[in-house]
Amino acid sequence: MARHVALAALAALLLVPGAGAAAAPRFGGAVVIGSPSSPPACLRPYSGVCRQGVFPDPIWRTVLAGAFEPREDLTYAPDLAEATFTRDPFTVTYRIRPQARWSDGTPVTAGDFAFTFRTVIASELGPEDAWRRIRRVVQVDAKTVRVVFRLPTADWQRLFDPVLPRHALEGEDFAQVWRDEIENPKTGRPIGSGPFLVQRWERGKELTLVRNPAYWGARKAYLDRLLFRWVPADPLAALRTGQADVMIVGGRPEIVTELRREPDFRILVNDRALSWEQLTIRVGAGGHRALREKAVRQALAFGIDRVAIVRDLFGDVAPGLRPLESALFLATERSYRASWSRYAYRPAEAERLLDRAGCRRGVDGIRACDGERLTLRFVTNAGVQRRQRTLELVRAHLRRIGVEAVPEYVTQRNMFGPGGVLARGAFDLALVGWSRTGGEVADGGVFLCTSELNFAGHCSRLIDRDLQQVPRLLDPAERGKVLHSADRKLAEAVPVIPLYQSPNVIAVRRAVRGVPAHPFFAGVSYRAEDWWLDRGR
């Protein structure tokens, strides 16, 4: 949770178009966040069961604070605690803020950190690798906790997010609590350490949060209530009928164009979000034999006009958007380098490489490599208009260089589920969306030979040597240097073709102020404590 003082919040709001010089934050009112997604099974963090549904936000970041909070530039800032670390052994010492407390007045202590560690290790979700690297958690005093790791862990700031209340949950079955509420099971009262508390959940319909009157931060939230409402899939209808005040509307140009005509709404566009699209090339078993040739994969990269794809998809939504030129970095990141810029659209170079690989055109213009027609199965999710249009464009581009692309559309389950298309390698190219949320995706581990997410099936000892170092590198500059080395090698091998970062588009009712065009690191309710209602609109 961001801890902005009122003056800083006001200064930011004055930069919002149409805010007016006289606008000032006010307390009171309610704002509804609309979501067309399926509701979750429960509200519990660190839970695989709860994650079976799709929640519009990880609300524990609004209700339950973490040791650190994610920021818009993919770095972290202290929230509940400040921290320092030593290298040998790798040890992180958290100094919990003296004023940090739970909504019932109980201080947040080192005991809460230790309890959180024990709970995560025993949870049904199973801890991520960073948690498994913790050797022990030592309570130095009430407000100081020392965490000793077995190995250096670069993403240690992602841990303890959120911190759990020991005094409320100790002795309870964590797998059974917080199904329909986030409360102290011993008192039946809502509990939290963030700016809001859970008041009520009408399962499958609406979740209501209320201002935490005992919030320990720089100031309390402006809004009385923040509601999450599950609405019909049509965002235009939900917004126009008043079912939602704030809603992610995606990057569909026709929806954005319609909403820009609506006087009651404004559109926030962030063209550097946390998700991106790429084409994964099946180099391993199951893919077309010609794709094992690096020259053929490079030809595909030269033969696809990525600038034209971005312009076609997002020209009216985010005209400044450019193709993503890295397989390991987002353009948001300070360490971003355009390692893949060599693959500007050059169909003549694509044809030269295919000729060199022995792929000759037939009478119908489609090439054959070693007697096997260069017909490639392109798979992606069914029902996603943007991806369908992407494949249509790619198909047209590749046809010009003598490659036939046959689209196949599959359900999400058949795409990503156990035994699905990606896991079986039953494709030639796959249009896949990724989200930068940490773990293997954040440190490039998806390209390791042994990774279950290495859907390309590409294996390189040199790339492995780089990427195996990354989780242990604590210096951001050193980490960036090693990742750049791996990215350059990936650009040479071309097991994937990065396309673009997906722009985030949020529709916001004009009366709602203080909503940033953020990259959804913490969900659409990020910094909701700064939101307020302009009752003059």
Q: Give the count of domains, the chain.
A: 3
**Structural domain contains residue 45:** no
Residues 267 and 331 in one domain: no
**pLDDT for position 16:** 41
Give the pLDDT score at 127.
56
> Residues 466, 386: one domain?
yes
User: What token pair was written down for 502?
Assistant: 């997906």
* pLDDT at residue 4, as a whole number: 38
Question: Is residue 530 assigned to a domain?
Answer: yes
**Same-domain status, 425 and 321:** yes
- The model's pTM is 0.82
Cα distance between residue 122 and residue 114, in whole Å = 13
Whether 198 and 261 map to the same domain: the answer is yes
pLDDT at 11: 34
Low-confidence stretches of the chain (pLDDT beneath 70): 1-22, 48-49, 51-59, 73, 124-127, 251, 272, 437-442, 518-523, 536-537
pLDDT in the model for residue 59: 67
Residues 468 and 520 in one domain: no
Q: Tell me the pLDDT tens digit for each residue of 221-273.
A: 999 999 999 887 788 888 888 899 998 887 677 788 888 888 999 988 877 67
Asked whether residue 134 falls in the same domain as residue 244, the answer is no
On whether both 106 and 241 belong to a single domain, the answer is no
Does residue 60 belong to any structural domain of this protein?
no
CATH number at residue 300: 3.10.105.10
The answer to whether residues 314 and 392 belong to one domain is yes
The domain of 403 spans: 275-501
Same domain, 310 and 403: yes
The pLDDT of residue 54? 43
Do 297 and 255 fall into the same domain?
A: no
Does residue 167 lie in a domain region?
yes
What is d(CA 172, CA 165) in angstroms, rounded to the nearest whole number? 12
**Amino acid letter at 82?**
E
Residue 32 lies in a domain: yes
Domain C-terminal end among 181, 205, 235 = 181
Three-state SS sequence of 126-139: CCCHHHHCEEEEEE
Instruction: Name the DSSP letter for residue 21.
Output: T
161: which residues sit within 8 A by CB, 6+ positions away?
Answer: 61, 66, 67, 68, 69
Structural domain ending residue among the three candidates 181, 210, 236: 181
- 134/208 Cα distance (integer angstroms): 36
Q: Is residue 237 domain-shared with residue 378, that is, in the same domain?
A: no
What's residue 316's pLDDT?
85
On the question of a cis peptide bond just before residue 162, with omega within 30 degrees of 0, the verdict is yes
Please report, for the domain that includes residue 511, its CATH number: 3.40.190.10
Q: Indicate if 75 and 5 belong to the same structural domain.
A: no
The reply to whether 1 falls in a domain is yes
Note whether residue 57 is domain-resident.
no
Q: CATH code at 174? A: 3.90.76.10
Residue 12 lies in a domain: yes
Helix then strand count (H, E) for the chain reads 16, 25
